[in-house]
Structure 1
Amino acid sequence: MTYSDFGNKFTRHAGITQLMDDLDEGIRAGDEMIMLGGGNPAQIPEMTEIFEHHLRNGLDNKSLLSALCNYDAPQGNKAFISNLAEFLSNEFHWNIKSENIALTNGSQSAFFYLFNLFAGKGKNNKKVLFPLAPEYIGYEDSGIDEDLFIGNKPNIEYLDKRQFKYHVDFDHLHLDQSIGLVCVSRPTNPTGNVITDDEISKLSVLAKQHGVPLLIDNAYGLPFPNLVFTDEATPFWDDNTILCLSLSKLGLPGTRCGVVIAKPETIKAVSNLSGIINLSPGGVGPALANEMLKDNSLLDASNNIIRPFYQRKSQQAINWLQAAIPSTKFKIHKSEGAMFLWLWFEGLAISDKELYQALKQKGLLIVPGSYFFPGVSNSWRHTQECIRLNFAQSEANVKQGIEILASVVNPLLED
């Protein structure tokens, strides 16, 4: 079968496709496979109760039935957009109106739209700059054109208790006319890093100086679902910023609802793409989230249920890992948010992908770290010494998974 260039690019192996296939394989394997790889959120009992309550309310007041039986506009559910704009304006004093918000079928489709809107072949062949690699696995293959991404290697700060933290290396961050978009995730998937307010401010200034937008992937961030474990990070948006939110990490990945907040011209472009590709975004997630906005349970649950739940699980997993893997060559990125731990095995005798296969044979699924360095040369050995581990699963699974990991890596880290 002969495909177009587009077809050839999007039918080849991709890290994000492997991750989602592994996620499905792990679910079907049941107890035979421990899934500490994919980004499936935990099923938090208190959140399940909230969802059930609002689903019943949505059925009673017909809003959920209306969402199921009617198309929304390409921009998305108008009631949710209007209420979200009012909420963001009141909560953060941002100049947000309905024309600043569009909904998409998950954040992944939003990134596809935005990367290819601002970068790719055209008058100046623009590229997307990631100022702080490693970055989200789902970015790597989302460009229509080849070589769409440039990644900037981080500065590494070594911390106590075999921990470390990545920082933006501004001395080697190069913006010129070839850059069409600057993109960061906050908290960062895969590392759990929360880029500082100072770093965000500097990136915003640089982006404005070069006339390009700053895209902040806030799928795990503020104000919801608030998987942020530091009090030093504050929400950021201005009219040169594209802020992407998601309902997935609230515990609603099946609704496939992403939120794009940007200036009206960008929202019109995203809406047009949504109309052409999807007709309209799904309405069930927005209808449910709108019910939660009305009684403030969206913010309350994020702050008082979701954040503490994941913060506890993060610290517990760190304690288990540090006890199970004693080598000084083993380091954990400081956990400041999200639902992952980023593990670095300095000087690892095998590659991260070989480690992935060895662990899979033992019944443990993780994600190889080399998939998280878009636009960075794999000649940097660090890219093959790291893995991402999801700590959102049950305590028993996380602990057993760490025991399997230790049994495989400890012999490889011996001096």
Structure 2
Amino acid sequence: MPSQFSRKFSRPSAITTLMEDLNQGVRDPNSLMLGGGNPAQIPEVKSRLQNYLESAVADGALLEAVSNYDGPLGSDSFRDALAGLLSDYFGTGVTPQHIALTNGSQSAFFALANLFAGRRADGSLKKILLPMSPEYIGYSDLGVNDDLFISHPAKITLLPDREFKYQIDFDRFVLDDSIGMVLTSCPTNPTGNMLTDSELAELDSRCQQAGVPLLLDCAYGAPFPNILFEDTRLPFNDNIILCLSLSKLGLPGVRCGIVVAAPELISRMANLAGVISLAPGSLGPVITEPMVRSGEILRLSTEVIRPYYKEKSAIMMKALKQAIPDPRFRIHKSEGAIFLWLWFDGLSISSQQLYEKLKNRGLIVVAGHHFFPGISEQSDHINACIRVSYAQPNEVLQQAIKILSEEVNPLYEEQP
């Protein structure tokens, strides 16, 4: 008889399907890959990263790094440099003992989810509360136990110019003994939504009062790569866990996630890392340590990466609204990350059916129903949205919009 672990991870998962689509899109020159989370190829960022890589090769630092194991928390010198940068950013003391490196953020989420939630000795199940859905597709299958997540639909505010925004319904936000952790992405993947400062403060306050850790997934956010189109200031204290990443900076292949939290939790992460992977990879830290130490990582994020994505987002939103003029088509307000969240209200087919029609034409997107983990209440809205990336070159985006409009407009015309 297979173990519970074996049964759980022998089943297909949404995130695996997404990554398979991403691989197909990258390898197939005829695919229009708007489905995955690959960052854009920004020339100035690539040039600087190449310079750092060449320097690490020239002075022997790269060979030295890949010829030896780091400790289970990752490169000591990189963690020291990052602690200095984060101390300045938050205005509070962050030490290397507050930082653990992991083999990508996804592995960090898996570890943290199962440290704070799951089956307890008395047989009850500690769960993870997502303050609102939709949320990141990769959270859905993190738990060794099934049904690990609980969430509620976001409140929807309709905005001018066929836009809308999700907000937390705090009237339904309850922290009781069944909740082991609260988790949210900032900005939100898939929607590009950014929690307001007041929402973040309310989350932080309620979690502290309940003694429940608050995990902020900042893979797209502050302080780097800072793909945020409105200024915000993240809270940080001993009850908050921050997950950062080098991926959206332009280095997804080095698989370097970063956990910033109270030293007691980091010590537990070290024990877990030693068992699972011995040590995280050293390539990302050795390439980026000089830019972390000098602070250039923040300059690149704020002066190059953020305006690059902000401009692309605005161009694509305008083009989509022109290509699909029906008033029932809406786009979530773009406040960060590298995706647009499209709501096809009143369409005669589901987002999964639309995904399949688009895939048959070589356009890869992600059907929206995958992004509602922990939701027990079904609604038409869950099956009426798709996520698209705007990180691809403009000519790819133009072709994608053409195909999308050719599939959607006739359906709307059939339903006046």
Q: Give, as a single letter, the amino acid of the residue that structure 2 aligns with 1:353.
A: Q
Q: Which residue of 2 aligns with 1:107?
A: 105
Q: Which residue of 2 aligns with 1:57?
A: 55
The residue matched to 1:269 in structure 2 has which SS? helix
Q: Which residue of 2 aligns with 1:19?
A: 18
Contact map agreement 1:370 1:378 (CA 8 A) in 2:
no
User: How far 1:411 moved relative to its partner?
Assistant: 1.7
Detail structure 1 runs of 4+ shifted over 4 Å in the superposition.
Answer: none
Quote the Cα distance in structure 2 between the aligned partners of 1:95 and 1:125: 35
Matches within 5 A, 1:351-362: 351-362=350-361
Q: Give, as a single letter, the amino acid of the residue that structure 1 aligns with 2:315.
A: Q
User: How far 1:235 moved relative to its partner?
Assistant: 2.4
Quote the Cα distance in structure 2 between the aligned partners of 1:19 and 1:262: 29
Q: Please state if 1:158 is matched with 2:158.
A: yes
User: How far 1:148 moved relative to its partner?
Assistant: 0.3
Contact map agreement 2:219 2:243 (CA 8 A) in 1:
yes
Q: Give, as a single letter, the amino acid of the residue that structure 2 aligns with 1:145.
A: N
Q: Give, as a single letter, the amino acid of the residue that structure 2 aligns with 1:90.
A: D
Quote the Cα distance in structure 2 between the aligned partners of 1:174 and 1:294: 41
Q: Which residue of 1 aligns with 2:77?
A: 79
Q: Which residue of 2 aligns with 1:170?
A: 170
Cα distance per residue 1:326-351 (max 9 Å; x no partner): 01110000000000000001122111
Cα distance per residue 1:21-44 (max 9 Å; x no partner): 0011112211x2100010011111
Q: Which runs of 5+ in 2 are unaligned?
A: none
User: How far 1:168 moved relative to its partner?
Assistant: 0.5
Matches within 5 A, 1:196-345: 196-231=196-231, 233-345=232-344
Matches within 5 A, 1:377-392: 377=376, 379-392=378-391
TM-score after normalising by structure 1: 0.98
Cα distance per residue 1:303-328 (max 9 Å; x no partner): 11100111111001001100000011
Quote the Cα distance in structure 2 between the aligned partners of 1:5 and 1:412: 44
Distance 1:223 1:343, change over 3 A: same
Cα distance per residue 1:264-289 (max 9 Å; x no partner): 11101111111111110000101111
Quote the Cα distance in structure 2 between the aligned partners of 1:369 and 1:44: 28
Quote the Cα distance in structure 1 between the aligned partners of 2:159 and 2:118: 39
Q: Give, as a single letter, the amino acid of the residue that structure 2 aligns with 1:409.
A: V
User: How far 1:91 moved relative to its partner?
Assistant: 2.5
Quote the Cα distance in structure 2 between the aligned partners of 1:268 and 1:368: 38
Contact map agreement 1:192 1:339 (CA 8 A) in 2:
yes
Contact map agreement 1:333 1:341 (CA 8 A) in 2:
yes
Quote the Cα distance in structure 2 between the aligned partners of 1:373 and 1:166: 13
Cα distance per residue 1:182-209 (max 9 Å; x no partner): 0010000000001111101101111111
Cα distance per residue 1:344-397 (max 9 Å; x no partner): 011221111111000001110000000000101362221100000000000000
Q: Which of 86, 105, 118 matches 1:88?
A: 86
Quote the Cα distance in structure 1 between the aligned partners of 2:153 and 2:377: 11
The residue matched to 2:211 in structure 1 has which SS? coil
**Number of equivalences:** 412
Contact map agreement 1:26 1:34 (CA 8 A) in 2:
yes
Q: Give, as a single letter, the amino acid of the residue that structure 2 aligns with 1:248.
A: S
Contact map agreement 1:182 1:212 (CA 8 A) in 2:
yes
The residue matched to 1:132 in structure 2 has which SS? strand
User: How far 1:224 moved relative to its partner?
Assistant: 0.3
Contact map agreement 1:191 1:341 (CA 8 A) in 2:
yes
User: How far 1:8 moved relative to its partner?
Assistant: 1.6
Quote the Cα distance in structure 2 between the aligned partners of 1:200 and 1:27: 36
Quote the Cα distance in structure 1 between the aligned partners of 2:52 and 2:168: 41
Contact map agreement 2:238 2:261 (CA 8 A) in 1:
yes
Q: Which residue of 2 aligns with 1:373?
A: 372
The residue matched to 1:190 in structure 2 has which SS? coil
Q: Please state if 1:98 is matched with 2:103.
A: no
Q: Give, as a single letter, the amino acid of the residue that structure 1 aligns with 2:287.
A: L
Quote the Cα distance in structure 1 between the aligned partners of 2:380 and 2:70: 48
Quote the Cα distance in structure 2 between the aligned partners of 1:114 and 1:294: 28
Q: Which residue of 2 aligns with 1:39?
A: 37
Q: Which residue of 2 aligns with 1:133?
A: 133
Quote the Cα distance in structure 1 between the aligned partners of 2:269 and 2:299: 30
Contact map agreement 1:159 1:165 (CA 8 A) in 2:
yes
The residue matched to 2:181 in structure 1 has which SS? strand
Quote the Cα distance in structure 1 between the aligned partners of 2:187 and 2:64: 34
Matches within 5 A, 1:387-398: 387-398=386-397
Quote the Cα distance in structure 2 between the aligned partners of 1:317 and 1:378: 32
Contact map agreement 1:378 1:384 (CA 8 A) in 2:
no
Q: Give, as a single letter, the amino acid of the residue that structure 1 aligns with 2:107.
A: S
Quote the Cα distance in structure 1 between the aligned partners of 2:263 and 2:146: 29
Quote the Cα distance in structure 1 between the aligned partners of 2:165 and 2:127: 27
The residue matched to 2:28 in structure 1 has which SS? helix
Q: Which runs of 5+ in 1 are unaligned?
A: none
Contact map agreement 2:82 2:293 (CA 8 A) in 1:
no
Contact map agreement 1:345 1:413 (CA 8 A) in 2:
no
Quote the Cα distance in structure 2 between the aligned partners of 1:174 and 1:293: 39
Q: Please state if 1:66 is matched with 2:33.
A: no
The residue matched to 1:220 in structure 2 has which SS? coil
Quote the Cα distance in structure 1 between the aligned partners of 2:236 and 2:133: 22
Quote the Cα distance in structure 1 between the aligned partners of 2:50 and 2:25: 26
User: How far 1:95 moved relative to its partner?
Assistant: 2.3
TM-score after normalising by structure 2: 0.97
